[in-house]
Structure formats: structure tokens, C-alpha cells
Structure 1
């Protein structure tokens, strides 16, 4: 065989081998398309009455806070309390030196005594004026008779003109004396009224001074905490100088701004006699909603909450986040926030294991027993026994096939209120 045919033989053998292998190859298995399903967790819907909570951020204030000022000028002789110290009712807070208080009190008493003496002197003077007036009127009558006799004698040339002038002057002097005395008697009521008014003013000043003297020793009017101490023993203070402050530990309040959309609901509950409570995150401090402030602004109205029980170290000025319980609402469900899609949609699981989007009403938030915040929703489509999908799927849509990985209990059961 010629060498030039060898490549052709090899090529032909390769082609025949390929064809043989192709005819003897095994047939591939037939593959059918299957629908993918997503594993989710579900919660069985059990509508009940829940009390939604409203998160608030408030400031602790002390409405019963008293600022102690110096009622008189003087030196601080005692100040047995310190900043932040708790005191009981009747405990001494601060006192002025009695050596600075007693002279002021003695001066006020002396002024009253002086005016009392002036009034008595005026009464004596008035009595003397009445008695003197009778004598002076008799002297005036005698002077007038003497004047008439002298004029008669002068007319008959039995007396000189000098005698007439002398008698006339005596009668005029007697008349002037009576006039002055009568004016003094007529002015007596006005003088007496003026002295009595000055005496009343002096007595009022004495009463004020006695009150200020008594208040120069300040005791705690209630069980409280001392704050804003501005003086020390030995300081010289002026009148009305701020010394310290004290607030009652039993009257602390929390002021938190409530949006206007919730105000009508809360006011209605208060009008019906409901007690609405709030508590901090640790639930160791509780408050009771008492009332709303009288003035509002565009950001809301201040709610005033009173501390119930032990204030547990609260201090005025502290900022505190709390959760206020709103009135309970029936036929609501507490769900995880992961179950919510958009603003008002959730997915239910149908009998054929597919997702179905439904619209719900957002009622508020609720706290579980472990402190976890859950969303409170309501809606006609949330029927008892239905299964709510709580796993958040990015590609969620109606008709998507899902499998149940686990079923959650209604975690809001711990927050259910009584049926209304």
C-alpha cells in the first residue's frame, strides 16, 4: 500500500469510531421543571383586646419647689444641709444670726410704742383744750363788757382815748386766743386720725418684721431634697437674697409632648375615669396620666404624668423615655414589624401555601412581656385562625409559593386588656 493512503485510512477509522460511539451513547434522563418555594415563619391570628403604647420623651419637673430667700439682711449663722441632701418635714434648712434680727424687731416695736404715746398725748391735749376754751371764752366775754363800758365813758368824757385803745387791744387778744383754741379743738379729729393711721402702719410694719423674724429660721415644709445651695455659714446676705431651694420628692411630674392626633383619644379616656399609666424601659418607674397643659403648639400638647410609687432616684431636669398606655382596643393583633410591607400591608398564607397581600389598619405599638416592641394592627381580613407570614421576603408578591418553617404564637397575648 502506498504511504500516501495511510493518512486517509487513519482519518476514515477516526470518523467510523466517532459514529460508533455516537450511536452507542446512553440516552440522558428527561428533566421536568419544578416551582420553587420559599421557607417562611407564620403566626396564627388570634384577635384580642390590646392596649397600644405611645412612645414619649419627657422631662422630670418638680411643681412643688420652694426657693428660700433671706427675709432680712444679716449673717448666716446655721446651714446644716448640703446640695442634694434629703430632709424630713421640720428639719432646719438655714437660719440668720439672731443678733441681726433682734434690733430690727425692737425698732419696729419702738415705733408702735411711740405712736401709742402720741395718741394718748393728743387725747390729753384735746381735753385740756376743751377746758381752756371755757376759761378763754369767759375772759373774752369780760373783755367785751369792759370795752363797752370804756366806750360809754369815753363818750361822756369820763375816760381817755388811750384807755379805750388799751381795752380794745385786750378784747382783740382774748378773741384771738379763743379762735386759736377753737381751731386746735376742731383739728383734733384730723390729728387723731393721722396718728391712728400711722399707728396702723407701724403695727403692720411690726407684724411684717415679726413674720420675717420668724422666717429667719427656715425649716423644711415637707419631705424633700435640697438643691441650689448658694450660701455658707458666715455669709452676709441682703434682703430677698436667694439662699437655697427644696422640692418635694412625692410631687414629681413628667411633662412629655403628645402629638395632637392622640390628644382627643386620651382626653376622652380621662373624662370617662380611665387610668392611663406609663413606664420607662426598665419598668421600674411608673407614671399616671393626670391632665394636659393648658397651652398647645404645632408640635403637640404637653401631657402631665405623676410619679406613682417610689421615684427611684428621679431628679428634676432629667430626660426620660417612657411608653404611655393608650385605651385598649378590641379585635387587634400584635405582629412583628418584619411582617409589615409598606405602610399598611401584610401577607397571609392561603390554604394552597401561597402568599396573599391584604391591607390592615395600623393601631399603634405594643410591648411584649420581654420588652420587645410589636406592631398592633386591625382589619376585617384578619380572621381568627388565619396564618400571617412574619418572615420579610424582598420578592414578596401575591401568589408566591411558600413553605412553613415554624409557627409563632401571638406574642402580644401578654399585653391584652380586658374585652370591651
Structure 2
């Protein structure tokens, strides 16, 4: 009987212990609503004068690119350089076969020599004509006196009509000879002028032939780099055909399209004597704006930048991302773009740990050492030392509770 009651006693004891624990438990604190606080990163507002960075893309150009052309038709005899070759002033670039150049030069020299000989002959001829004219005038005078004597004799019936005709013919022949000689002498200046004009043309042709002969062997006029090669040894070329081109690495420039809304301020800086500097995005190259191209388009003018230091690695046609430093702006703060909401506001953290919206004006960008950009903003409602919230919260609103989160990578104590 007792064994049957043992399970019942165990159940009753368990119920009694449960009731005892229930009666002696501590009273729980009343539950209440707690406001959530959002962790954020902050930065102190530090006002300073900044030069806004203007990112643009520029193309490397060689304004003094020199193209060597063939002065005459001929065959390429030598071409010791190739594309990309570095040459020094005076180095041979390309040469035409002398067999194609020398005949033209020799022909021009022969033409000059022939005309000089003709001029000498004309000068000798005029001296001879002057002497001959004096003799022929004397002969004419004798013929005139003979004609007068014959007429006198005929009047006395001492000369026949035939004698008179003979004397008259001799007089006319002597007169004709004098007339022709005088005509030759009168035409001498014109003949001499014509020969001298032909000589000048021939001498000009000779000078051109000599110049072409010299240019048939082209040498570098400066230390440079061969950009393009158009011919090979053995090729036949015509006059004025391009053979190769050469540029000076030190004279390379970068041309970049400057947006129209910034170009005027940059141009005013140059006119005021304030240099406008630029760097490549990787900080490898430093440049200076020297001016703008003469033509523009609706996007803006082309800015011309000269490299200030090393140009190694740059070639005409390369694209270079540039950062142009615009005129400085005062009282600006550089903030990460994550701090901005739209383009005209950010939030600061109040002393009570609440978000407070501040309207700002974005005045440009600031290039950081890591190659990234921060926004440059300023506002009369932003104070030095204000804690600017840099964490972008999708639910950001005026008065939202926030706490300063530990910066990533910070050591914990």
C-alpha cells in the first residue's frame, strides 16, 4: 500500500517546491521603451584655404613635330633609324641615292655656266660692233663723197650714168651697214638684260638644286625621338613625300579640355601673373598651364600644359589624367563624399548626441594623398571644431540619436 502512495507523494512534493520558488522569486523591473543609438564616424571641422582640384583628361602632343620630306624624286639609300630611336643633333636620319641627286645639280651648274658664257660673248660682241660701226661710218662717208664726185663728173660729161648708179649703190650699201650695226648696238642692253634674267633664274635653280642635294642627306636638327618612319631602304619616293618625323621630348605638352565654367577663372589667374599648376593623378608629372588654344567648342577651350620636370615615359598621343589646381577658396572644409546628403547638406553631431542638419555650399574637390577626392564645402552655420558625421545613414533625419563608433583598425584597451 505504501509503495503505491510513493509516486503520489513525489508529485505533491514537486508541486509544493514549485509554488515555493514562485512565491520567493524577485519582482522583475517594469519593461520600458529604449531609444536606439546609431554608431557613426565623425571628423572635426577644420577651416582652411584650399585650391580646388579639377580632374581632366589630357593628350600628350608634340607642337614642334618635324616631318622630313624628300626634296627630289629618288631611291632611299640609307635609313639608320627606326621608330622610337633616340637621336642626337647632327645624327643621320635618312639619305637619298646620290645618283638621283647629282644629275639635277650638274644640269643646273651647266645651265649657269652656259648663260655666263653667253653674257661674256654678248659683251665681246658689243665691243666688236662699236669698232665696226666706226669703220662702217667712215666707209659711208667715203661713199657719200664718191657719189658727189661722180655726180659732178657726170655734169661735165666725164662720168657715165652707170658710174653714177654704181656710186649710188655703194652709198646705199654703206648706209644700210651702218643702220644694221646701230640696231645691233641699240638691242644690246635688251639682250644683256634677257641673258642676265635667265642667269638669275638659272642661279636660283642651281641654289635650289644645291639645297635639295644637301637635304637629300637629312640629319637631326635637335636631340629628339623618331616618331614615325614612312620608308625603308630601297624604296623609291617622289618629291615632297614624307620620309619620317621627329620630336623633342623636352618640348612635349599636354592639351586638356577645360570645362567652360572654370576656364575663365583660370585665364584670369594667368593674366594676373598667378601660375596655374597641375599634376598627373599618380603625382608622377608636374605641369604648368601656359595658355589656351585659339579655338574652342561648347564644352570649353583646350588648355595647354607644359611639363616642368621629367618627361620620361610620355609619347605623343598618350592620355594623361590630370588634376588642375584652381584658384584658392577661403574658409572651406574638406569632407568625404559619404558625409554629404545630396550636394547641399551634411549632418553634425550635437552635444546631446543628436544629428543636426547643416546646409552647405560645395565649392570644389580636394585631392588627397591616396589619390581619392574629398568634397570642399563651406557654410556660415558650420563652426570650427564641429563634429561632422561622415557615416552615411540611409535613415538620417534631424534629431536622430547617434554615438561615436570606434574607428576601424583602432586598438581596444
Q: Which of the five TM-score ranges fits, normalised by the shorter chain?
A: 0.7 to 0.9
Give the equivalent residue in structure 1 for 2:175.
Answer: 175
Give the equivalent residue in structure 1 for 2:48.
Answer: 48
Question: Alpha-carbon deviation of 1:38?
Answer: 2.2
Give the equivalent residue in structure 1 for 2:103.
Answer: 103
Give the equivalent residue in structure 2 for 1:413.
Answer: none
Question: Alpha-carbon deviation of 1:407?
Answer: 7.3
Question: Secondary structure at 1:221's aligned position in 2?
Answer: coil
Give the equivalent residue in structure 1 for 2:114.
Answer: 114
Question: Alpha-carbon deviation of 1:117?
Answer: 0.9
Verify: 1:281 aligned to 2:281, yes or no: yes
- TM-score normalised by L of structure 2: 0.88
Structure 1 residues 178-214: Cα deviation after superposition (integer angstroms, max 9, x where no partner) = 1111111111111111111111121111111111111
- TM-score normalised by L of structure 1: 0.86
> Where do residues 289-328 of structure 1 align in structure 2 (5 Å cutoff)?
289-328=289-328
Task: Say whether the 8 Å CA contact 1:275–1:288 is kept in structure 2.
Answer: yes
Question: Secondary structure at 2:405's aligned position in 1?
Answer: strand
Give the equivalent residue in structure 1 for 2:3.
Answer: none
Structure 1 residues 80-105: Cα deviation after superposition (integer angstroms, max 9, x where no partner) = 11112121222111111223222222
Give the equivalent residue in structure 2 for 1:131.
Answer: 131
Give the equivalent residue in structure 2 for 1:6.
Answer: none
Distance 2:185 2:31 in 1: 138
Distance 1:389 1:230 in 2: 62
Structure 1 residues 240-271: Cα deviation after superposition (integer angstroms, max 9, x where no partner) = 12111111111111111101111121112222
Distance 1:94 1:118 in 2: 39
Give the equivalent residue in structure 2 for 1:59.
Answer: 59
Give the equivalent residue in structure 2 for 1:89.
Answer: 89
Question: Secondary structure at 1:140's aligned position in 2?
Answer: helix
Distance 1:347 1:228 in 2: 58
Question: Alpha-carbon deviation of 1:68?
Answer: 0.7
Task: Say whether the 8 Å CA contact 1:60–1:317 is kept in structure 2.
Answer: yes
Give the equivalent residue in structure 1 for 2:8.
Answer: none
Question: Alpha-carbon deviation of 1:57?
Answer: 0.9
Q: Which moved more, 1:27-36 or 1:380-389?
A: 27-36
Give the equivalent residue in structure 1 for 2:343.
Answer: 343
Post-superposition, which runs of at least 4 consecutive aligned residues in structure 1 deviate over 6 A? Answer: none
> Where do residues 232-271 of structure 1 align in structure 2 (5 Å cutoff)?
232-271=232-271
Task: Say whether the 8 Å CA contact 1:285–1:312 is kept in structure 2.
Answer: no
Question: Alpha-carbon deviation of 1:165?
Answer: 2.4
Gaps of 5+ in 1: 1-23, 409-420
Give the equivalent residue in structure 1 for 2:191.
Answer: 191
> Where do residues 24-43 of structure 1 align in structure 2 (5 Å cutoff)?
30-43=30-43
Structure 1 residues 113-167: Cα deviation after superposition (integer angstroms, max 9, x where no partner) = 1111111111111111111111111111222222223333334443333322222
Question: Secondary structure at 1:170's aligned position in 2?
Answer: helix
> Where do residues 375-390 of structure 1 align in structure 2 (5 Å cutoff)?
375-390=375-390
Q: Number of residue pairs matched?
A: 385
Question: Secondary structure at 1:228's aligned position in 2?
Answer: strand
Task: Say whether the 8 Å CA contact 1:96–1:216 is kept in structure 2.
Answer: yes
Structure 1 residues 300-357: Cα deviation after superposition (integer angstroms, max 9, x where no partner) = 0000011222222111112222111122222111110111111211122222222222
Structure 1 residues 222-255: Cα deviation after superposition (integer angstroms, max 9, x where no partner) = 1211132121122222221211111111111111
Give the equivalent residue in structure 1 for 2:225.
Answer: 225
Distance 1:47 1:186 in 2: 96
Q: Which moved more, 1:141-150 or 1:51-60?
A: 141-150
Q: Which moved more, 1:59-68 or 1:265-274?
A: 265-274
Distance 2:256 2:300 in 1: 10
Question: Alpha-carbon deviation of 1:67?
Answer: 0.7
Question: Secondary structure at 2:250's aligned position in 1?
Answer: coil
Gaps of 5+ in 2: 1-22, 409-413
Give the equivalent residue in structure 2 for 1:15.
Answer: none
Distance 2:203 2:183 in 1: 30
